[in-house]
């Protein structure tokens, strides 16, 4: 798969011999790098609709942080001898970006936070944490450390979102549901047991999902952990559990 | 907003439960998905359900025959049906605690612990989250009431003299088993107690013997099941796996487990087996969304497990107290008291049935006047 954004992570001149699982990690890293670069693009876009200079600085700082995560993942790929490319134009990621950009067009700061911090970060935190538990050496440590950093981001956004919900619960929940239908449906399709709509355009060869058990992971586990994190985040925001359960139950599989 | 349900500001009770089979879990999720979505395949449900945090699934509204009304929520702990064994005890306790926290957050004044939730909490009441204004009941006293009443009435209906019977209780040292022992022992010829913990068995046997009961103990029910003509199975088993061996001809066997105790391969052709501990609401019972016959999968309408009905009965009565507190405190007096409360609100013993359907000699509990 062609690299869309260059992270200057070309392989060493004398290639090291690949471990049997290196190509699996290559695809896992490619997805993670793509997600981080998309997050960086989202925060950069967000900075353009912020009025408060402090918010602009915050958004740009987040964007730089996400780029740093992408570079760290790319570096981990280089350590195991693979070029983990990225593709922010891949079909699922493109749809996620478009959903975010619609919020930007509407200058919907809260909508942007919901998409990035509640939905995309829930997916990132949960899946990175699972990968962090099973990936070897510094690869695992990097995933675990970035999962922890992303969780801090969510904490910051939660304060803003709780205040917003307290102002008008009904309209906040309606807006969240509308974004859920768009964004979580895409994430659910990405994490489905099989890629039924064809190649995801990020994996280098065939779909990595069937090979994940070779590194003690599974698509079902990553999906379950992500939905768990999402439901817990919505609980913390104060949305009724029976309502969010229905939302999640209705997602595609 | 899709999937939203009626918003009820104030609730009286919460019911904490879990599904006893993947089929039951699939049916619940199918209702939540709604008619516009294809039901999830079982393999997807097996992947997904263990990740769902405890949460409310539906609202429940009950009205009594004397016009009282109580509102509550059913909270599922989402304990996976295949993870009820000891190896998952820690995780399951965490799920019950999470469900209890949901009940507190919802503002429930009384919380009933259904199925394995009460078994897990029997010896761990102190592990539940505490908040002023919310009390917990295991619901086991009303369960005992329904078991005892069913056995007495079935014997009466079949012209048997319970005083000449040998009673075997499997799971005798649990809250439900020991409660049944205390209620029925004085009225039978001989009592056989069976449980895994020998020390607890000895203590219960000594308690009963002190009141003049002819009592024996064993850790394997097959050791003396052939002598029993009335059997109560109230063991906390992770799956229907109990093999009783032979029982007396025409034995009455009450399977009061959740999940059921008796193995489907247990061949007892001459025995009268029924599922015990169930009550029926003769007022009205509503689930929102409509999970009638899904949360309560029985061949009769408005039948619910006694442990859950206890919380509803107490809520209708306005008695927000921890009526059933844990292992070993159920006495005949307490059983009579909860029976009176339940009956006052039109909650009675459910018609009897087993895996094949209603018993031919099924009781008409509605015609019965509480004595």
pLDDT at B128: 82
Compute CA distances B91 → A231, B54, B80, B100, whole Å. Answer: 18, 12, 11, 14
Nearest chain A residue to B26 by CA: give it.
Answer: A249
Closest Cα of chain A to B14: distance in Å?
Answer: 13
Instruction: Please tell me which of A189-198, B198-207, B267-276 the model is most confident about, judged by mean pLDDT.
Output: B198-207
pLDDT over threshold 80, residue A110 = yes
Which residue spans of chain B are classified as CATH 3.40.50.720? Answer: 147-275+352-367
Its pTM stands at 0.89
pLDDT over threshold 50, residue B6 = no
For Cα atoms B216, B218, B223, give the angle at the middle one, nearest 5 degrees. 100
pLDDT at B362: 56
Contact B2 A181 (CB under 8 A): yes
Of A241, A248, A253, the CB nearest to B44: A253
Give the C-alpha separation, A141 to A129, whole Å: 10
Report the SS3 class of residue B25: helix
pLDDT at B366: 42
Is the minimum CB–CB distance between A236 and chain B shorter than 8 Å?
A: no
Paired tokens of A220? 């079902």
Give the C-alpha separation, B224 to B216, whole Å: 9
Paired tokens of A242? 């029976």
A89-99 residues labelled b (16+ CB within 10 A) or e (exposed): ebbbbebbbeb
Give the C-alpha separation, B335 to B158, whole Å: 24
Question: Which of A22-31, A56-65, B246-255 comes out lowest in average pLDDT?
Answer: B246-255
Q: Exposed, middle or buried, B220 (CB in 10 Å: 0-12/13-18/19+)?
A: exposed
Give the C-alpha separation, A99 to A88, whole Å: 14
With beta carbons less than 8 A apart as the criterion, state whether B104 and B59 touch.
no
Q: Please, what sign has the CA dihedral across residues A173, A174, A179, A180?
A: positive
**Chain A residues inside the 8 Å CB shell of B3:** 243, 246-247, 249-250
Residue count of chain A: 253
Contact A244 B55 (CB under 8 A): yes
Nearest chain A residue to B106 by CA: give it.
Answer: A240
| A14-36 confidence digits (pLDDT tens) | 555 778 899 999 999 999 999 99
Place of tokens 């768009």: A182
Question: Which of B196-210, B274-288, B321-335, B337-351 comes out lowest in average pLDDT?
Answer: B321-335
Contact A242 B29 (CB under 8 A): no
Closest Cα of chain B to A227: distance in Å?
Answer: 7
Is the minimum CB–CB distance between A227 and chain B shorter than 8 Å?
A: yes
Contact B2 A228 (CB under 8 A): no
Closest Cα of chain A to B286: distance in Å?
Answer: 16
| B200-232 confidence digits (pLDDT tens) | 999 999 999 999 999 999 998 888 888 899 999
Is the minimum CB–CB distance between A235 and chain B shorter than 8 Å?
A: yes
Average pLDDT value for chain A: 91
Report the SS3 class of residue A191: coil
Is the minimum CB–CB distance between A192 and chain B shorter than 8 Å?
A: no
Q: Please, what sign has the CA dihedral across residues B48, B49, B54, B58?
A: positive
Contact B32 A245 (CB under 8 A): yes
Contact B3 A224 (CB under 8 A): no
**Chain B residues inside the 8 Å CB shell of A225:** 51
- Establish if A15 belongs to a structural domain: no
**CATH for B147-275+352-367 (3.40.190.10, 3.30.1360.230, 3.40.1190.20, 3.40.50.720):** 3.40.50.720
Contact B52 A250 (CB under 8 A): no
Task: Note the ipTM here.
Answer: 0.87
pLDDT at B9: 64
Question: Looking at the DSSP assignment, which residues form a beta bridge with residue B354?
Answer: B357
Contact B3 A231 (CB under 8 A): no
Closest Cα of chain A to B282: distance in Å?
Answer: 27
pLDDT at A85: 86
- Establish if A80 belongs to a structural domain: yes
Average pLDDT value for chain B: 89
Contact B51 A224 (CB under 8 A): yes
Question: Which of A96-100, B63-67, B270-274 comes out lowest in average pLDDT?
Answer: B270-274
Number of domains in chain A: 1
State which residues form the domain around A68.
22-249
With beta carbons less than 8 A apart as the criterion, state whether B212 and B240 touch.
no
Contact B3 A250 (CB under 8 A): yes
Closest Cα of chain B to A147: distance in Å?
Answer: 19
**Chain A residues inside the 8 Å CB shell of B55:** 231, 235, 241-242, 244-245
Q: Which residue has the higher pLDDT, B56 or B10?
A: B56
Is the minimum CB–CB distance between A243 and chain B shorter than 8 Å?
A: yes
**Chain A residues inside the 8 Å CB shell of B73:** 242
For residue B341, the tally of other CB atoms under 10 A from its CB is 19
Nearest chain B residue to A226 by CA: give it.
Answer: B51
Of chain B, the percentage scoring pLDDT greater than 90 comes to: 64
With beta carbons less than 8 A apart as the criterion, state whether B291 and B312 touch.
no
- Establish if A96 belongs to a structural domain: yes
We report the CATH number of the domain holding residue A62 as 1.20.1260.10
Q: Best of A245, A247, A251, A252 to disrupt the B interface by mutation (most B CBs within 10 Å)?
A: A245
pLDDT over threshold 60, residue B3 = no
Is the minimum CB–CB distance between A246 and chain B shorter than 8 Å?
A: yes
| B352-368 confidence digits (pLDDT tens) | 999 889 987 654 544 44
Q: Exposed, middle or buried, B19 (CB in 10 Å: 0-12/13-18/19+)?
A: buried
């Amino acid at each position: 798969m062609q690299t869309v954004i260059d992270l200057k992570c070309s392989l060493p001149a004398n290639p090291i011999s690949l471990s049997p699982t290196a190509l699996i990690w290559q695809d896992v890293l490619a997805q993670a790098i793509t997600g981080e670069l998309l997050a960086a693009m989202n925060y950069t876009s967000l900075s353009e609709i912020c009025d408060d200079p402090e918010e602009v600085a915050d958004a740009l700082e987040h964007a730089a942080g996400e780029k740093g995560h992408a570079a760290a993942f790319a570096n981990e790929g280089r350590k195991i001898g693979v070029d983990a490319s990225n593709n922010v134009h891949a079909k699922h990621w493109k749809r996620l970006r478009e959903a975010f950009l619609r919020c930007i067009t509407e200058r919907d700061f809260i909508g942007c936070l919901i998409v990035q911090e509640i939905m995309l970060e829930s997916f990132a935190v949960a899946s990175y944490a699972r990968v962090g538990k099973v990936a070897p050496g510094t690869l695992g440590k990097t995933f675990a450390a970035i999962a922890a950093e992303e969780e801090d981001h969510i904490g910051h956004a939660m304060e803003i979102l709780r205040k917003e919900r307290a102002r008008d619960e009904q309209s906040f929940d309606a807006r969240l549901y509308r974004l859920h239908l768009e964004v979580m449906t895409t994430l659910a399709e990405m994490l489905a047991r099989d890629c039924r709509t064809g190649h995801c355009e990020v994996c280098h060869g065939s779909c990595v999902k069937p090979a994940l058990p070779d590194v003690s992971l599974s698509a079902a586990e990553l999906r379950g952990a992500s939905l768990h994190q999402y439901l817990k985040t919505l609980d913390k925001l104060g949305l009724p559990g029976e309502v969010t359960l229905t939302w999640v139950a209705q997602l595609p599989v | 907003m899709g999937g939203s349900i009626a918003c009820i500001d104030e609730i009286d009770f919460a019911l904490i439960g879990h599904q006893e089979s993947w089929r039951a879990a699939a049916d619940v999720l199918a209702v939540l998905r709604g008619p516009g979505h294809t039901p999830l395949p079982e393999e997807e449900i097996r992947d997904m359900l263990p990740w769902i945090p405890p949460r409310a699934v539906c609202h429940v509204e009950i009205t009594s025959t004397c016009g009282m009304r109580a509102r509550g929520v059913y909270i599922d702990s989402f304990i996976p049906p295949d993870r009820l064994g000891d190896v998952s005890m820690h995780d399951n306790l965490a799920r019950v605690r999470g469900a209890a926290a949901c009940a507190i957050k919802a503002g429930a004044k009384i919380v009933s612990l259904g199925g394995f939730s009460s078994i897990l909490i029997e010896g761990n009441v102190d592990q539940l989250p505490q908040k002023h204004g919310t009390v917990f009941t295991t619901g086991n006293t009303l369960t005992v009431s329904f078991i005892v009443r069913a056995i007495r009435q079935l014997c009466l209906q079949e012209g048997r003299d319970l005083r000449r019977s040998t009673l075997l209780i499997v799971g005798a040292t649990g809250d439900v088993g020991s409660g049944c022992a205390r209620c029925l022992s004085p009225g039978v010829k001989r009592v056989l107690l069976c449980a895994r913990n020998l020390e607890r068995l000895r203590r219960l046997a000594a308690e009963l013997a002190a009141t003049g009961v002819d009592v024996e103990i064993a850790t394997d029910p097959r050791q003396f099941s052939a002598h029993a003509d009335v059997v109560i199975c109230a063991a906390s088993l992770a799956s229907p796996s109990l093999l009783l061996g032979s029982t007396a001809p025409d034995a009455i066997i009450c399977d009061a487990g959740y999940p059921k105790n008796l193995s489907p391969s247990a061949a007892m052709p001459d025995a009268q087996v029924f599922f015990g501990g169930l009550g029926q609401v003769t007022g009205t019972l509503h689930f929102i969304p409509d999970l009638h016959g899904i949360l309560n999968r029985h061949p009769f309408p408005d039948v619910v497990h006694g442990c859950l009905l206890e919380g509803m009965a107490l809520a209708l009565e306005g008695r927000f107290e921890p009526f059933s507190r844990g292992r070993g405190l159920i006495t005949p007096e307490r059983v009579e008291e909860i029976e009176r409360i339940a009956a006052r609100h039109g909650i009675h013993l459910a018609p009897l049935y087993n895996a094949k359907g209603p018993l031919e000699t099924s009781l008409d509990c509605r015609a019965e006047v509480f004595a």
